[in-house]
Amino acid sequence: MTNQELHDQMVAAMKAKDKVRLSIIRQVMAEVKNVEVNERRDATEEDVNSMIKRLIKQTNETLEMSRKAGNNQERTDTLEEQVKILESLLPAQLSGDALVELIERTIAEVGATTRKDMGKVMGALNKATGGNFDKAAAAKEVGARLS
Segments forming the whole domain that contains residue 81: 3-89
Residues 30 and 55 in one domain: yes
User: ∠ at Cα 85 (15, 26), nearest 5°?
Assistant: 60
Please provide the DSSP assignment of 43-107 as one string: PPHHHHHHHHHHHHHHHHHHHHHHHHH-S-HHHHHHHHHHHHHHHHHSPPPB-HHHHHHHHHHHH
- How many other C-beta atoms can be found within 10 angstroms of the C-beta atom of residue 82? 21
Query: Total structural domains in the chain?
Result: 2
Residues 12 and 60 in one domain: yes
Q: Quick check: pTM over 0.75?
A: no
Residue 112's pLDDT is 86
**CATH number of the domain enclosing 41:** 1.10.1510.10
Collect all residues with Cβ–Cβ distance below 8 Å to 47 and sequence separation of at least 6.
32, 35
Region for residue 17 given its phi and psi (left: phi exceeds 0; alpha: psi -120 to 50; beta: otherwise)? left
Residues 10 and 76 in one domain: yes
- Per residue of the chain (147 residues), give pLDDT as tens: 788 888 999 999 999 999 999 999 999 999 889 988 999 998 888 888 888 889 999 999 999 998 888 778 888 888 999 999 998 888 877 778 888 899 899 998 888 888 888 889 999 988 888 778 888 888 888 888 887
Residues 85 and 100 in one domain: no
Is the sign of the CA dihedral 83, 88, 92, 95 positive or negative? positive
Collect all residues with Cβ–Cβ distance below 8 Å to 123 and sequence separation of at least 6.
none
CA pair distance 124, 77, nearest whole angstrom: 37
Residues 31 and 85 in one domain: yes
Residue that terminates a domain, selected from 60, 89, 118: 89
